[in-house]
Copies of this chain bind each other. A is one copy, B any other.
C-alpha cells in the first residue's frame, strides 16, 4: 500500500545533476563564503533536487553535524504533565513559546511513563542526546543522572530544587520566600498585627521557604506577630486555631490546606475579608468565588527563563553555572482587606473546640 519507492538521497540528486555528493550538500545548504559554486552548477543541483522531490534526511544531518536544533523537555514524574490540571503544564507553555521564537523544535520525553519515577538513564542508556540540551522538571530530580550529564558536559537546566550544589549546575527556581514576604507585607500594610500561616506539613523545601519569608517580613515590621497553624485537618480545627491565636489574617502556605479554608468560608463561619483576610502563597484557581489575594508563580515565565538558559549554554554563551531565583509577584485580590478593629470573634456562637 505504502509507496515503497525509496526516497531519493543526496546520491540520487548528485547523479542526476552530474556532480558529486559533496557539491549537492554545499549547494543545498547554501554555504556561501566557504566555497564558491558556479551559478550553472547551483541551478543544475537545485533542479535535480526539485525534480526528484528530494529532501535531506534530518537524522543523517544530525549525525554528521552533531547539532539538531532540538531542546528536550523531561519530567521526573511518572506521567507526563497532561493537561491544564497538571501544574507542570504551565512551565511547558513557556518553554513552547520560547522554542517557537528561537526556532527550536521541542522533544517531549513522554516515553517510560507509568513505571515508577522516571530515571534519566533508562536501563543504563540515554535517549537524551537526541536533544541538543534539555529542560528537566520535577520534585525528585534523580541526582545521579544529573551528575552524570554534568560530567559529560551535556547542556541542561533543572527547574526545581536538588541536593546538588547550586553552583555545579543550572537551576531555575521560584523565590518562594520573597513572594511570601510580599504577601505578609501587604497584610501588615493593611494593619494586620496578628497573622497566622497555615500549612499541612513542612515536608517540602518550598513550603519551609514560604514560612521563612513570612517570618522575615513580620520580624521586619517589629510590632506584629506570626503564628503557625500546622497540619489542621478540618475547618473546625482551623477556626479554633485562628481564634486561639487572635489572628486577623491567614496566609495559606500550602495548597493542601485550601479545602479546610474553603469549608470555613463556605459554612459562613467567618466573613472574608471583613473578619479575616486570606492570602494564598500559590497561583489561585477560581475555587473561592472571588479573586483571591495570592502570589503569582508565573510558571510559564520560569519555563521561558529555563529555555533561555539552556540555549545560551548550547551556543557557548555561558561559562559558569548558576541558580536563578525568579521573583514571585503578589497580586492583591478581594480576600484581603483592612484589619478589623479587634478580633470580632470570627463567628458568633462558634464552638470552643480546643486542639
Residues of A within 8 A of B (CB): 1-5, 7, 28, 49-50, 53, 55-60, 62-63, 68-70, 79-80, 82-84, 93, 96-97, 99-101, 103-114, 121, 124-130, 148, 151-153, 155, 286, 300, 319-320
Contact = CB atoms under 8 A, between A and B. Distances in A.
B320 A1 contact: yes
Contacts of A129: 55, 57-59
A80 B96 CA distance: 7
B80 A121 contact: no
A286 B82 CA distance: 21
A59, A83, A153: most-surrounded residue (chain B CB, <10 A): A59
B127 A110 contact: no
Contacts of A125: 28, 55-56
A93 B82 contact: yes
B53 A148 contact: yes
Given A3-B152, A107-B107, 16 more contacts: A1-B319, A4-B153, A28-B125, A58-B127, A59-B68, A63-B63, A70-B107, A79-B100, A80-B96, A80-B100, A84-B93, A96-B108, A100-B113, A103-B111, A105-B110, A105-B127
A106 B105 contact: no
Contacts of A1: 319-320
A134 to B, nearest CB: 12
A274 to B, nearest CB: 24
A126 B82 contact: no
